[in-house]
Amino acid sequence: MATRGRVEFAVRCPECGHLHRHVNLGIVDAPCGTSYNLGPRRGRVQ
């Protein structure tokens, strides 16, 4: 998703189940306090 000229990645949190947005890949910290490894998807889900 592109917002204000930057790319953001949206992911469903494996801990709380909410959708969180991040501006980078790798190990990220979610607003709910969970840390997880965010990487590119391997294909499109239909």
Is 29 contained in some domain? yes
Is 13 contained in some domain? yes
Residue of 3, 17, 11, 20 whose CA lies nearest to 45: 11
Q: pLDDT tens digit string along 10-39? A: 899 989 999 999 999 999 999 999 999 998
Is 44 contained in some domain? no
Q: What is the pTM of this model?
A: 0.69
Is 46 contained in some domain? no
Q: Which domain holds residue 29?
A: 2-38
- The span from the CA of 35 to the CA of 46, in Å, is 27
User: What confidence tier does 2 reach under pLDDT thresholds 50, 70, 90?
Assistant: low
Question: Per the structure, how many domains does the chain have?
Answer: 1
Strand ranges, E, within 5-46: 6-7, 9-12, 19-22, 26-29, 35-38
